[in-house]
Homo-oligomer: A and B are copies of this chain.
Amino acid sequence: MNIGLDIAGGDFAPDCNFEGIELAVKNLSPDIRLTLIGDERVIKEKLAAKGLDENLFSIVHAPEIIDMGESPLKAVIAKPNSSIAVGLKLLKSGQIDGFASAGNTGAIFGASVITLGTVIENIRPCLMTLVPKSNGSYGVLLDIGASADSKPENLYQFAVLGNSFAKFILGNPNPKIGLINIGEEPEKGNELVKATYKLMVDSSDFNFIGNVEGTEFFSPKADVLVCNGFTGNIVVKLCEAWYKVCRKSGLNNDYIEQFNYENQGGSPVLGVNGSVVIGHGISNGKAIMNMIKLTSEIVQNKLSAKIKEALSSNE
């Protein structure tokens, strides 16, 4: 398979990406061929400096760069030759099978929706993250910030998206879907979750197990945690803050280390026609390698097509 990598993505680009390429070549399956997207001269120079044979890679020249601080959609439109815009066009046309970038999240997400289209009409794609569970498994949390405001039907769709990821990527045959709430009882919560509960409670699209409180985040109670993107984003960043607090205090173990972004690979864009993963802005080489790995798993398991199928059945 052919995975496109945005050379200009990341706070430490381009170097972090070449460190990631070096690690990917060493550690990942030889079935993965990388298409490097960015300034061709920089790509050739950096490959040579690492002693990597440029014939091992496809190289696509895309000289424009979208900065981390730029207004996402404006930048994508104004810069058709940016690595993000070019990468997604390659994905759309089938020249690559998946696209991975640690660049501007809003730009990649917005351009993915526009360029690739959504798997069905009337769906709001979203971003997800993995949640390390205390029993050694991984859960899925979504949305983590693609939409700041959501409706009950959006949260319902997020559940379908998360269910598919847990099934087809994490290999969980019957994921337990929980709705993040401030109490367990159906009548608890804000208007959004109360209405969402009613939509989910009799769902035949997934195995809804009810409301889940913040205290159960890391417990095996639910495998997929559904919430609005505002709350999800704050939760993810709070976990990052906690991880840093632990590390700074010299506290660490295998479980805590699972919260290290380097090991997680980034956030897949769920609900678009294509396999896209957005890496953390501060990605280092290890994180870039894991982003490529996650993208390859999503491609391999045809997640996007399976999500389309799952959502089409209840249209």
Contact = CB atoms under 8 A, between A and B. Distances in A.
A214 interface: yes
Interface residues of A, number: 42
Interface string A223-263: 00001111101111111111001101101110110000000
A234 B188 CA distance: 13
Contacts of A251: 246, 251-253, 256
Most buried by B among A216, A217, A236, A242: A242
B240 A215 contact: yes
Contacts of A230: 182, 189-190, 193, 231
A191 B252 CA distance: 38
Contacts of A189: 148, 230
Contact of A237 (B213, B229, B253, B255): B213
B245 A145 contact: no
B253 A235 contact: no
List 7 A-B pairs, minimum CB-CB distance, nearest first. A214-B237, A148-B190, A182-B233, A214-B234, A251-B251, A214-B238, A215-B237
Interface of A: 134, 145, 148-149, 180, 182, 188-191, 193, 213-219, 227-231, 233-242, 245-246, 248-249, 251-253, 255-256
